[in-house]
Amino acid sequence: MKQIAGGVTAPKGYLAGGIACGIKKTGTPDLAIIASEVPAKAAAVFTKNKVQAAPIAISKQHLQNGEAQAIIVNSGNANACVGPIGDEIAVTMCQAAADYLNIAAEQVLVASTGVIGVPLPVEKIVTALSVHKDILSKQGSVAAATAIMTTDTFMKEVAVEFELEGTIVTIGGIAKGSGMIHPNMATMLGFITTDVAIEQPLLQKALSRACDLSFNRVTVDGDTSTNDSLFVLANGMAGNKIIDQVDKAYSQFVAALEYVCLELAKMLARDGEGATKFIEIQVNGAKNEHDAVTIAKSIATSSLVKTALFGEDANWGRILCAAGYSGVDFDPDQVSIALGDLLVYQNGVGIVFDEAKAKTILSQHDIVIRLEIGAGNAAATVWTCDFSYDYVKINGSYRT
């Protein structure tokens, strides 16, 4: 497997693009389309929030036959909590994309991100698509990745190619997300394209697992959004022997899909609102994977841990404290904690450590925190960022 350029347009048979249609007051790009030349198998993972935006309901309907050919996405407005008109708006978006591409509206998936509770001026999308006729291109992944950004500070795209039984298969992806990022899922949108040939149930299975190991393991602020959506299209144009069972080829595909999802997910944490640090929390020696993930997420969502990391303060007591209230049963006297390669707490006792060395480690942009729980052999890693003045600034005046 090797990383290549091109994002969602790297696999065979995909075009993409993005434009400004006027939903964002700033006039920056706010509308993206991704399209396959031919109908593709499609699968998705959505937010577990009880309050779900209208595009999710419509995309679920359009996924019922397991196929889709295009994705339309806007930023600047979440199309959430506006009543029944939200569904109509989402349908209108699909129809506009369908007319543009000359396909059926049911072949289009839809996603929105931005402010909640304000009706989306969908006529701006309809008008823009009737005016601009050259949105899509083979180089359009960057434009699409840019048009789905909200408070993101950089666009997020990745692509890989790998060999499957002698055939080159490609997977590409773009994502957005910066605040309101939390497991199950981040406030994020992720769109994956691939030219692999695969049965739809296996595509869904692969996406769900990849999502659990990637997007569901990053957190910025502990807030799970109403709009989170991760879509994958698989158009089969690579020409590989179709993956129709859980075999070696399936495993190879899943590994590549996981890689793409994880790279995108880590970019979300790295671009956390106001973030000055990228934090990797490794939990080893847990009784089982669920315990390891629970402890790691409890640390990753602690405001006290995150502000200490912003302040480059080796306050490991807060790390242990957050592990302690995670709800996982463990013996604190078996636990050890290291910041980078500096052991600060061992088997229940704080260690006298070199403060200068701690300062050097914590002054880096990328910081690894390692916990050994001493209860078993399971491990998990979670990614997050620190909590800075700018997070407060960005979120104190988002709506206005």
Q: Active-site positions?
A: 187
97 HSE (CA, 13 A, CB side): 29
Burial 259-269 (b: 16+ CB within 10 A, else e): bbbbbbbbbbb
CA distance 70 to 79: 19
Cβ proximity to a second copy, 49 vs 194, nearer residue: 49
Using CA atoms, how far residue 328 sits from 237, 331, 335, in Å, is 46, 10, 13
Q: How far is the CB of 214 from a second copy (least distance, A)?
A: 19
Q: Does 180 bind a second copy (CB under 8 A)?
A: yes
Q: Does 1 bind a second copy (CB under 8 A)?
A: no
Among 4, 118, 255, 343, binds a second copy (CB under 8 A): 118
Cβ proximity to a second copy, 280 vs 312, nearer residue: 312
Q: Does 387 bind a second copy (CB under 8 A)?
A: yes
Q: How far is the CB of 222 from a second copy (least distance, A)?
A: 6
Among 152, 161, 221, 258, binds a second copy (CB under 8 A): 221
Q: Does 82 bind a second copy (CB under 8 A)?
A: yes
Residues 6+ apart with CB under 8 A from 138: 9, 15
Q: How far is the CB of 148 from a second copy (least distance, A)?
A: 19
Per-residue contact string for residues 186-205; x = within reach of a second copy by CB under 8 A? --------------------
Cβ proximity to a second copy, 164 vs 375, nearer residue: 375
Identify which of 337, 270, 348, 341 has the alpha carbon closest to the alpha carbon of residue 299: 337
Contacts 24+ apart (CB under 8 A), 241-246: 241/165, 241/167, 241/197, 242/197, 242/198, 242/199, 243/196, 243/197, 243/198, 243/199, 243/202, 244/198, 244/199, 244/202, 245/202, 246/202, 246/205
Residues 42-81 close enough to bind a second copy by CB under 8 A: 48-52, 78, 80-81
Enumerate binding residues for a second copy (CB under 8 A): 48-52, 78, 80-83, 115-118, 179-180, 182, 184, 221-226, 301-304, 307-308, 310-311, 313-318, 320-326, 328-330, 332, 345, 348-350, 387-389, 391-400
